[in-house]
Structure 1
Amino acid sequence: MKNDNFALSVLSIFELLFLGFILLLIATVIVLYIIDVNQSAHTIRRNYPVIGRFRYLFEHMGEFFRQYFFAMDREEMPFNRAERSWAYRAAKNVDANIAFGSTRDLSPTGSVMFLNSAFPTLEQDAALPSEVTIGPFCRSPYTTTSIFNISGMSYGALSRPAVRALSAGAAKAGCWINTGEGGLSPYHLEGGGDVVFQVGTAKYGVRDAEGQLSDERLKAIASHDNVRMIEIKLSQGAKPGKGGILPGEKVTAEIAGIRGIAEGHPSISPNGHPDIRSVDDLLDMIEHIREVTGLPVGFKAVIGDKGWLRDLVHAVKQRGLDRAPDFITIDSCDGGTGAAPQPLMDFVGLPLKESLPWVSDLLNQAGLKERIKIIASGKLITPAKVAWALACGADFTVSARGFMFALGCIQAMQCHKNTCPTGVTTHDPKLQKGLDPTDKATRVAHYQRNMTYGVGLIAHACGVTEPRKLRRDHVHVVAASGLSAPLSELHPEPITLIDDQSRPEEPERQISVTKEELVDE
């Protein structure tokens, strides 16, 4: 009898709870109905109270359903599942072989194919990337073999454990990490690897009380042994013509201190350097920073208007090789960012497939290609894309989102909301705890090494001993006819030389370069 009474009591409690839930649900629906019919901001909700709210839920959830259930392996943007899967496997250092056949469609215009040699490089003849020196006229030139490095990502845009993992991973892999425009944090340095310090338009980390460039702070940055180069950021691929954007909720006290700004307020950089308004200003700034720090100095830009680059080449020819930029980082218009206006992200700037060959040709034409090194950036997250960039004239490549995938990024597209589910771009401690810097540092190193190995596979298949010997005639690109054409014909080397008295112009007549001529170079 007691058991029966107890069971009846439990049943009564559940009935009361269920009844309470039903009443709460009805009350919620009534309240939402009243709100919806009386508001005027959303037509759907006003015409279809309560039910109309599901539209916004489905719209939000659709992003994730498409990614996991509906999109084919090579359909998504900005990176499809096939690209992400390769990056994940490379970072985990697991078997990257596939079976049965490629799912890649070779028919779209612009598809890239590498030309395998009948006599591929034998294993005993294969070589790792060769050493390249940047800044030969500096007090402290930088020499490295790495062809694939970590692009600019600020502490603030990235979380503390993410930067720590990237820093340690870069040291293990022997590549560099770029600080991004947010200043030099202790976490960039703690890994002990090579660091490239970026000077953004707001001069974060090297600004004085008035926001001007501070020589004392520059010297302090250069005093760290593992800071190896300085990069002046003119523009970024995802938002050319717009400065960096860090929402106020991500500007913690520590980040504010590193940047030299107020805590809790949005960190919005100017859309350009107030003290760099011409080519001469840029060269003067490069020379000044190089003199103060003793380090190689270059600049980063997404290429749009080309006239200023011709002016820059002409100015360098007049000033002398010792006063040239030590490197140019070319960013693609389809680069990434944590936050940017959609009109800029979608429609402004040139893609790397146009800008990289053009800049390489311009420097070759002027006899400056050996002096000014080219760093290519923009969706280069797989070996084929890195190999293509090297074939087009890049000396180095960098990637941001590729290394984010190595950290565990799932392309949730929430970088600007402080809600990143993998802890990469959030300062929420609850979300950061899932990102173990020690484990992810190993993955970062694996990703870099497997990238280098994959690029080497392509190079050796093409018959060259190391990746930097790839040339344009190793590449074919599918044309509008559906047939492929040599990249060396689509982007032939210019034959017009530039003398010291003339302003460089776009060459009117161009010819292809033979494989023998390219190899001899």
Structure 2
Amino acid sequence: MRRFLPLLLVALTAAGTTVAASALSAGWWLAAGPALALTCLGGRDLLQRRRPVLRNHPLVGHLRYRTEQARAGGTGTGTDEPFGGERDGDEFLVPSLHPVEAAEEAPVVRVGGPDCAQPYDMALLNVSAMSFGALSSHAVLALNRGAALGRFAQDTGEGGLSEYHLRGGGDLVWEIGTGYFGCRGADGGFDAREFADKAALPEVKCVSLKLSQGAAPGSGAVLPGVKVSAEIARERKVPVGETVVSPPCHRVFSTPRELVLFLARLRELAGGKPTGFKLCVGSRREFLAVCGAMVAEGVAPDFVVVDGSEGGTGAAPTGVAGRLGMPLTEGLITVHNALVGVGLRDRVRIGASGRVATGSDVVKRLVQGADYTNAARAMMLAVGCVRARRCHTGACPAGVATQDPLRAHAVNVADKAGQVWRYQRETVRDAVSVMAAMGVRGPGELTPAHLVRRTGPGTVRSYAELYEWLAPGELLAGPPDSWATDWKAADPDSFR
């Protein structure tokens, strides 16, 4: 409650100086006037619903907004510059001298292979994995209602299916991590019956098995004890107030073959809903081993989400974030080529996550091999995150990354849900407009030649030239020399 102390002190000063002005001398009004004005301002901060920082930090919160305005005004570009307006000078999408009309309907991607009984139409941009626990109840609910308004999907993160994921009516991708939260047995392992019951919920459209995440591949997620409230503890079946560290790997499989068979089991338990996995790619050989297992068993996931090492999370150790795993570009191209090479790309959709924020970001990832994208950081900004970097302390000033009920209550769910919806809608519209300017009518017409990188002074090369792109089934028919060693070493019965 210390954050309300400045307002309390100002209110006491206002009361004291007002009494003094009335009883002793009119000169006290010189102090009472400003104190009364500040007290009224602080009261308005507490009652308003638009800015959670001011509601959680009356009076003092204004310093944050003043600093932000001063910083924006000093950039030399003005304060009306749209988010993401600056471009990477080393890469650009190729416009056409014969552009086409932008499509009025936002494209969707059908997710679900031949073994899927309940396919799902995925939007081009969705909410990436963020758990209840990492985020507050109000933030999760706002994201979910925004997804319902815009008809896109929200990934639950690995913290389980909370009531806040279910209450807003949005479509869900239920993520299952190594802690099996939401379908966790008494021994900490996977509970098939509980999983089947929850996967049958109509809000659950897809199931995603998390192998690793971009900012911390090879490490289990961490939820600090200060954020493990009684509600979180019940949801995850863990002790209240104790730090939760997820295991680094899954208990239910230990080989690529066991992985793909477990995915098939999950799909069956989920009633045929689309089932896939998420990973940050580290080794091309390891992913080829998974592809080899798919071919050997005749089983494939419905989707693979590729997380880039540049993705962010508050759960990553400082020495790990951004230092392990492939960046999203390399990861996407690796996964796309591997699936093409084993003849499975037409039945497996690819999602991309890792610093996706603008329409051009979406198009860039589609060119590199993705079918759709997910965003976490940008969605947090839409729901009110002010990048205070206090996620791990439970003292988020915006009420977004906290389990303090009073702080969380500062998030106006209806208002922030609208912001999330509008952000997603305008970003997808921007992506469609960018594609139209490139002369293509939809994602299916994009090719690697549509993205160019500067490789030296006066020299540019397209992605079609920079990277090798395999033909369908090429790894099975006879891999090129550049892939032969990894393909030969890929063992469906070992990740090593």
The TM-score bracket by the shorter chain reads: 0.7 to 0.9
Residue identity matched to 2:154: I
1:306–1:377 Cα change, 3 Å = same
- 1:118 and 2:117 correspond: no
In 1, are the aligned partners of 2:278 and 2:305 still within 8 Å (CA)?
A: yes
1:413–1:175 Cα change, 3 Å = same
In 1, are the aligned partners of 2:224 and 2:242 still within 8 Å (CA)?
A: yes
- 1:178 and 2:175 correspond: no
- 1:209 and 2:209 correspond: no
Match in the other structure for 1:434? 410
SS at match of 2:188: coil
Match in the other structure for 2:333? 357
Question: Aligned equivalents of 2:470 and 2:450: distance in 1?
Answer: 18
Q: 1:231 aligns with which of 208, 211, 219?
A: 208
Match in the other structure for 2:14? none
Residue identity matched to 2:189: Q
Question: Aligned equivalents of 2:318 and 2:117: distance in 1?
Answer: 42
- 1:487 and 2:463 correspond: yes
Residue identity matched to 2:282: G
RMSD after superposition:
3.3
Shift of 1:381: 0.9
Question: Aligned equivalents of 2:396 and 2:444: distance in 1?
Answer: 37
Which digits, 9 at most, give the CA deviation of each residue in 1:45-74, with x for residues without a partner?
xxxxxxxxxxxxxxxxxx999976568999
Which digits, 9 at most, give the CA deviation of each residue in 1:420-463, with x for residues without a partner?
11111012233223210111111111111111100001100011
Counterpart mapping for 1:407-426 below 5 A:
407-426=383-402
Match in the other structure for 1:455? 431
In 1, are the aligned partners of 2:341 and 2:475 still within 8 Å (CA)?
A: no
Match in the other structure for 1:386? 362
Shift of 1:267: 1.2
Residue identity matched to 1:394: A
In 2, are the aligned partners of 1:390 and 1:467 still within 8 Å (CA)?
A: yes
Which digits, 9 at most, give the CA deviation of each residue in 1:170-208, with x for residues without a partner?
011111111100000011111112111111011111011
SS at match of 1:478: strand
Q: 1:300 aligns with which of 252, 266, 278?
A: 278
Q: 1:377 aligns with which of 347, 350, 353?
A: 353
1:143–1:506 Cα change, 3 Å = farther
SS at match of 2:321: helix
**Between the two proteins, what is the percent identity of the paired residues?**
34
SS at match of 1:342: coil
- 1:273 and 2:270 correspond: no
1:67–1:472 Cα change, 3 Å = farther
* Larger Rg belongs to: 1
Match in the other structure for 2:197? 220
- 1:200 and 2:177 correspond: yes
SS at match of 1:271: coil
Q: 2:226 aligns with which of 239, 246, 249?
A: 249
Match in the other structure for 2:294? 316
Match in the other structure for 2:12? none
In 2, are the aligned partners of 1:130 and 1:468 still within 8 Å (CA)?
A: no
Shift of 1:490: 1.2
Q: Which runs of 5+ in 2 are unaligned?
A: 1-19, 32-63, 486-496
1:154–1:470 Cα change, 3 Å = same
Match in the other structure for 2:7? none
Which digits, 9 at most, give the CA deviation of each residue in 1:214-259, with x for residues without a partner?
1111111112111011111111111111111111111111111111
Which digits, 9 at most, give the CA deviation of each residue in 1:480-517, with x for residues without a partner?
335322121112312584465878974379xxxxxxxx
In 1, are the aligned partners of 2:395 and 2:404 still within 8 Å (CA)?
A: yes
Question: Aligned equivalents of 1:230 and 1:66: distance in 2?
Answer: 42
SS at match of 2:427: helix
Question: Aligned equivalents of 2:216 and 2:303: distance in 1?
Answer: 21
Which digits, 9 at most, give the CA deviation of each residue in 1:232-291, with x for residues without a partner?
111111111111111111111111111111111111101111232221121121111112
Residue identity matched to 1:429: P
Q: TM-score by structure 2 length?
A: 0.80
Question: Aligned equivalents of 2:269 and 2:261: distance in 1?
Answer: 12
Match in the other structure for 1:28? none
1:311–1:104 Cα change, 3 Å = closer
SS at match of 2:175: strand
Residue identity matched to 2:433: L
1:496–1:376 Cα change, 3 Å = closer
Question: Aligned equivalents of 2:131 and 2:247: distance in 1?
Answer: 16
1:432–1:146 Cα change, 3 Å = same
Q: 1:507 aligns with which of 441, 462, 483?
A: 483
In 1, are the aligned partners of 2:109 and 2:371 still within 8 Å (CA)?
A: no
Question: Aligned equivalents of 1:500 and 1:112: distance in 2?
Answer: 33
1:463–1:85 Cα change, 3 Å = closer
Match in the other structure for 1:19? none
Match in the other structure for 2:319? 343
Deviates more, 1:380-389 or 1:422-431: 422-431
Q: Which runs of 5+ in 1 are unaligned?
A: 15-62, 76-80, 88-101, 510-521
1:447–1:496 Cα change, 3 Å = closer
Residue identity matched to 2:98: F
Residue identity matched to 1:118: L
Which digits, 9 at most, give the CA deviation of each residue in 1:128-181, with x for residues without a partner?
3144232331232x2215111111110010000001101111011111111100
